[in-house]
Amino acid sequence: PAAYDLTELQRDANKKYGYSAKQTLSLMQSLYETHKLLTYPRTDSRYITKDVVATLPERLRAIAVGPYKDAANAVLRTKPLSTKYIVNDAKVTDHHAIIPTEQYVDLNKLSREERHIYDLVVRRFLAVLSAPFEYDEVQVTVSFGNRNFYTKGKTVKAMGWKAMYDSSPGDEDDDGDDLSSQQLPAMTQGAPVFARDIKVTTGKTKPPARYTEATLLTAM
């Protein structure tokens, strides 16, 4: 994923914590002005410029505490840093993406709500600098009697940046259908499978979900 701009951060904070856009901006202002832990919040860019790259190691060392220590040190050991997903001068206007500053963080000095916003930004920052998520996209046809059954999904080869999140491999930034995002075991062509259970389910199509603040921000 790209780094955060304000709208994307507000969207994720609403989805994960139920924070309003106004509340997220207020928390960001505190983390920027009072704690000086995150960069300028009112940005519409999700990239940084080349001149910021030299500061990335110091920013990584500043966040190498608590739950982020191992991931930050792992990224620091990567030489050179993989910056192709975050550096783009052409896509930066007045201010670059929201990223951590070089200020050392004491997590105990943050409120619960500030911790939530800080956690979102730091995990995204580390994810952008981490290795790619690698998987095989698998389409499966199973013959059972005179019937064919179909499914599709992913067989994970390397978790990469998704290791920064506690979700399953198909959860982060996956807005596709459930089948394409489900995780499948390793398979080989022609291997036998066994039907342990058979169920028939009926259902009705559902109307689109009502707008939430997160989906409104996405639509806007």
List all residues 6 or more positions away from 13 whose beta carbon is below 8 Å from its beta carbon: 19, 23, 24, 116, 117, 120
Can you tell me the distance from the alpha carbon of 75 to that of 79, in angstroms, rounded to the nearest whole number? 9
Task: List residues bridging with 141 in a β-sheet.
Answer: 150
Most distant CA pair in the chain, distance: 68
CA distance 183 to 172: 13
Retrieve residue 188's tokens: 């080989």
Residues in the chain: 220
Q: Which of 40, 47, 118, 211 is catalytic?
A: 40
Task: Give the amino acid at 74.
Answer: A
17 given a catalytic annotation = no
Q: What residues are annotated to the active site?
A: 40
